[in-house]
Amino acid sequence: MRAGLDGFLAALVLIVLAGPAAAQDDPAARAAALLAQAKAASGGAAWDRLAGWRESGTAIIGEAQGDYDTWCDLHRLGMANHHVLAGAAQTRGFDGATVWLVDGAGQLHTSQAPLQLAIARQGAYVSAWGFFFPERFATQRVYIGSASADGADFDIVRATPEGGLPMELWIDRKTHLITRMVDRSGPRTSVAVLSDFRSIGGVVTPFVVAESDGDPKHTLELHLTAIDFGPIDPARFAPPAR
């Protein structure tokens, strides 16, 4: 799931959607209550004390494997990712205004196209766990129904950051953790499955993320090895000087 790496990957699951709970008629209020419960199960107030987010680990796509680093701003939209897969390096970023990429040849590419910005806002918002911080990130959060997959039952909240694409957050009814994210905004539905939850710095976060759009060639696994919550220089998210 972590931002900067395209796509949301892991085997697609059988989804059985149900209608919104009849007993609760306000989908925004129910979404807020479910996400507050999910935040509490994930560490509660410990999230509010985090200055930034940097994670490092191993990325696997098909036969290719390599290292990655991702930086996220938890207080405003900003993210960057650097990865090396099969010997090829790539760096991506978003500073809230411009999407940029430094390719394997060292060439800088930038974009402010509406669709690219919408995709980047979605990625930065989700990577910053922005749905836990409605006071920081302007967003629409609504309850859209329930589902069952792989023997678990979920409540589903759709979160749409201002100017960004929507993401479905699947909240496990037993653990109250967000263990799946579903993106239906592209030509293929893509799913991220979050697992191996661990407590670090007072927050509970997944250390394995498996993402898939149903095509095995696109399947991505992220295995985290380290997370740092220290402040991040905003320059990290800006396009590098040409």
For the stretch 138-168, pLDDT in tens is 999 999 999 999 999 999 999 999 999 999 9
Please give the CATH number for the structural domain made up of 27-166+184-227.
Answer: 2.50.20
Of all residues in the chain, the percent with pLDDT exceeding 90 is 81
Rounded CA separation 38/185 (Å): 24
Q: Return the DSSP state at 151.
A: T
Q: How many CB atoms lie within 10 A of CB 66?
A: 15
Of all residues in the chain, the percent with pLDDT exceeding 70 is 90
Contacts of 225 (CB under 8 A, 6+ apart): 56, 57, 58
**Helices (H) and strands (E) in the chain — how many of each?**
2, 13
Q: What are phi and psi of 105, to 5 degrees?
A: -90, 0
**pLDDT higher than threshold 50 for residue 129:** yes
More confident residue, 225 or 2: 225
pLDDT 10s digits, 43-88 = 999 999 999 999 999 999 888 899 999 999 999 999 999 999 888 8
pLDDT 10s digits, 86-107 = 888 999 999 999 999 999 899 9
**pLDDT higher than threshold 50 for residue 7:** no
pLDDT for res 24: 56
Q: What are phi and psi of 112, to 5 degrees?
A: -125, 25
Q: Which residues does residue 221 pair with via DSSP β-bridges, in sequence order?
A: 60, 210
Distances from the Cα of 242 to the Cαs of 26, 42, 102, in angstroms? Answer: 50, 41, 10
pLDDT for res 25: 77
**pLDDT higher than threshold 80 for residue 17:** no
Average confidence score pLDDT of the chain: 89
